[in-house]
Structure 1
């Protein structure tokens, strides 16, 4: 008889497994006795409530950290949006939003930013590439194809101001 080490499959009971031979393997009961179950559930609830209370007390006792106020940025800002998608690139990084999903990248988390315009249509695609070979594209529909040139110029100004690429010489030296 072969036996797999580390297999997580459980034997099927006789009603489902036609190869079941009674007496060789018995069904494993995973249920706890009825008197132990409510106590375990109560312990979990008490632990969760006490952890929540401790967190609330810690939050009240700890001095409130002052969140940095978003000061108006003097440098260039790129912003493009349509009815579903939105992209903002400024001094803090790049933020992408599609419907109710959002992601934010600081400049040190970005490996490259790529733009693409469709051959036909009014879609403008911005793709944020990260150093770990992941990419995050977002498509924005412009009012007209002429808007793509404006967006390219604005995004280039932001990238020139905030995005710092490592020269190939320094990468080869490391």
Structure 2
């Protein structure tokens, strides 16, 4: 059998220098070292005070307040010591310790939930076949029942099948 020679593959996967515009950190440091103080004249810089704006206060853009859910619709707020699950008119929000995930209703393809002992688990499914579960622990079984009732009402109100 005759062997064929395969040319070597070049590209960024094999050699990062293949990507135009990328340089190693050593190249930048070497370029900075070439400029010495004797090559560059010394200049004195004086800070300039910013001038007062001529625009009235009304013309300046004001930060928009964060959107809040209307108080008249059903809302689920289930919290435990580490996290929370919130379902309202804006969508579904999960928190766990210092992490937060927000899903608006237009980016959710399905919401499912389940209970186990005193734990409520809510899973959000997105159109790209990903799912994001979060769970909270209820202090007692009556609170768990209350949360599932609130969740049913909120999903019936806001989520369209």
Tell me if both proteins adopt one fold, taking TM over 0.5 as the criterion. Answer: yes
Extract unaligned runs of 5+ from structure 2.
17-23, 36-56
Match of 1:5?
10
Determine helix, strand or coil for the equivalent of 1:75.
Answer: coil
* Equivalence for 1:126: 122
> 1:66 offset after TM fit, Å?
3.8
Q: Alpha-carbon deviation of 1:62?
A: 5.1
Kindly report which structure 2 residues correspond to 1:36-75, keeping only aligned pairs within 5 A, or say none. 36-37=31-32, 63-64=61-62, 66-67=64-65, 70=68, 72-75=70-73
Partner Cα separation in structure 2 for residue 85 and residue 34 of structure 1 = 46
| Cα deviation digits, residues 126-172 of structure 1 (max 9, x gap) | 1111111111111111112333222111001001111112xxxxxxx
Rounded to whole Å, the distance in 1 between the matches of 2:142 and 2:92 is: 23
Runs of 4 or more above 3 Å deviation: 29-35, 65-72
- The gaps in structure 1 that reach 5 residues or longer are 11-28, 41-59, 166-174
Report what 1:95 is aligned to.
Answer: 93
- Which is further off, 61-70 or 130-139? 61-70
Q: 3-state DSSP class of the match of 1:128?
A: strand
Provide the rounded CA distance (Å) in 2 between the counterparts of 1:33 and 1:111. 48
Q: Greater helix share, 1 or 2?
A: 1
